Amino acid sequence: MSEHGFTHSYLVEERICFAKLVNEFLKNDTDLTELLPLNPDNDDFFHVMESGIVLAKLVNIAVENTIDFRAVNNKKNMNVYQVKENLNLAINACKGIGLKLPGINTQAFIEKKPHLILAVLWQVMRLCLVKKISLKDCPEIMRLAEASEELHDLMKLAPEAILIRWINFHLRKVGVDKKVNNLGGDLKDSVALLHVLNSLDKEKCPSGPALGEEDLVKRAELMIKNAEAIGVPPLVRPADITSGNSKLLTVFVAELFNTRHGLEELNEEELEAYEKFGIIEDDVEGSRDERAFRFWINSLALEDVHIDDLYEDVKTGVVVLKVLDKLKPGAVEWKKIDKNPNNTFKKGINCGQIIEVAKKLGLKIPGIGGSDFVDGNKKNIIAVVW
């Protein structure tokens, strides 16, 4: 019970799935032999999370090299100060990679508050699950483009949206007149997932016997067995599928995609178009700067600000203006700013204000104008943010 007299509950099925997921992500980590594997069937899960070590490890899987593990206290019988150092490091890193942690601090882990710990872990593990579900890491996602869509449009899709398109792609491929609109209730009868699995491997994943099963739990059990037959780790239970829990179904579908997406490889002509588009980053130093500055902006915890792509997300001018106003409150005259600019002209006015405010703050940015932000000029955007 909280100090205000409220109690916070959590879903046991999520704790079970998340524990299995942690075990799967970190099964080969020799630093964690004293802590893992977690027992998904009891609350030891929350005790293991108290040290901050597992959370730090998960952050580095989500976004490589976010935390220098040499700074993490990793030994038996740590005192409370060492534990807090670990937790502060991990929580700040979570904020740096863009996670939203309102009201969550080290005490949530030390006091083992399940609902808060699970809220943090879900965000981190979601990033771990979907990190490769992007056009940059999986060029075959080009196959999921809709009519008249360009690669830029695909790059803007959230991983969950890509997974929904992927499911519908395989449903069309096997001639099934069914469309999925979410990773929740639309999947709980296992029908769509059975057809996707059959599309991926007809021999190992026959859909007929399961589709003929009227008991939804038994049908889900057969569907999960099909998934395991092609290498999908056993992270969810039949009841997790039939519950329609969107988090648990996202875990299942993401692991299915990561195990075998079944999208045809690009031919030479398509691969050339992909490379010309410039998704493959050849400016290593520029890429590192973008990542560092993206993390920094996310760590500022600005209202309604989360950066996924620095160069794309600054084009409206609003994000950079919020950063400038954070550095010196009152520096931005918000009455002059359109917070939802819907055309290039309005974006240009906002970005012009970036330059004006930056000069007032004493930043030296010769030869850089507001149009550099609207146009996505990488070199000049990095210069101003630096």
Section 113-141 average pLDDT: 93
314 and 244 part of one domain: no
Q: Write down the mean pLDDT value for the chain.
A: 88
Domain shared by 290 and 190, yes or no: no
**Same domain assignment for residues 93 and 176:** no
Task: Tally the domains of the chain.
Answer: 3
Among 96-105, 226-235, 290-299, name the most confident range. 226-235
Q: Are residues 173 and 75 in the same domain?
A: no
Mean pLDDT confidence for 80-109: 89
Domain presence at residue 6: no
Whether residue 379 is predicted with pLDDT greater than 60 in this model: the reply is: yes
- What is d(CA 18, CA 10) in angstroms, rounded to the nearest whole number? 12
Query: Last residue of a domain, which of 100, 130, 160?
Result: 130
Using the CB atoms, write b or e for 364-377: b if 16+ within 10 Å.
eeeebbbebbbbeb
**202 and 151 part of one domain:** yes
Q: Tell me, yes or no, whether 245 and 288 share the same domain.
A: no
Residue 66 belongs to some domain of the structure: yes
Q: What is the pLDDT of residue 300?
A: 76
pLDDT of residue 8: 59
My answer on whether 380 and 308 are in the same domain is: yes
Is residue 44 domain-shared with residue 89, that is, in the same domain? yes
- Kindly state whether residues 327 and 251 are assigned to the same domain: no
Q: Which of 77-86, 110-119, 249-258, 364-373 has the highest mean pLDDT?
A: 249-258
Residue with tokens 């600019």: 341
Are 285 and 228 in a shared domain? no
Give the pLDDT score at 284: 45
Q: Summarize the confidence of residues 184-205 as an average pLDDT.
A: 97
Degrees to nearest 5, angle at CA 65 with 127 and 234: 40
Question: How many Å apart are CA 381 and CA 216, to the nearest integer?
Answer: 53
Q: Are residues 288 and 358 in the same domain?
A: yes
Asked whether residue 70 falls in the same domain as residue 104, the answer is yes
CA dist 353 → 293, 316, 317, 342 (Å): 20, 11, 8, 17
Measuring CA to CA, which residue among 358, 314, 319, 351 is closest to residue 336?
351
Local structure of residue 171 (DSSP, 8 states): H
Give, to the nearest 10 degrees, the angle between helix 246-259 and helix 12-25.
Answer: 20
Give domain status of residue 78, yes or no. yes
**Least confident window among 6-20, 39-53, 159-173:** 6-20
pLDDT tens readout for residues 357-371: 888 888 877 778 888
Instruction: Determine, yes or no, domain membership for 298.
Output: yes
Q: Looking at per-residue confidence, does 179 or 327 come out higher? A: 179
Q: What residues contact residue 177 under an 8 Å CB cut-off, 6+ apart?
A: none
Single residue among 97, 130, 163 that ends a domain in this structure:
130
pLDDT over 90 percentage in the chain: 53
Out of 229, 259, 289, a domain closes at 259
Per-residue pLDDT tens over the stretch 33-86 = 989 999 999 988 899 999 999 999 999 999 888 888 889 999 888 999 999 999
pLDDT in tens, 291-302: 778 878 877 777
CATH of the domain at 365: 1.10.418.10
Of 44-53, 96-105, 188-197, where does the model show the most confidence?
188-197
Q: What is the pLDDT of residue 4?
A: 36
Instruction: List the structure tokens of 196.
Output: 């996707």
CB 44 within 8 A of CB 38: yes
- Express each pLDDT in 279-319 by its tens digit: 544 444 456 777 778 878 877 777 777 777 788 888 888 88
Please check whether residue 275 lies inside any domain of the structure: no
pLDDT of residue 7: 47
- Provide the residue range defining the domain that includes 225: 139-259
* Domain contains 3: no
pLDDT greater than 50 at residue 6: no
* CA distance linking residue 84 with residue 109, whole number of Å: 9
Q: Quick one: what percent of the chain has pLDDT higher than 70?
A: 95
Please report the pLDDT score of residue 248 as a whole number: 97
Say what the pLDDT of residue 279 is. Answer: 55
Average pLDDT over residues 86-110: 88
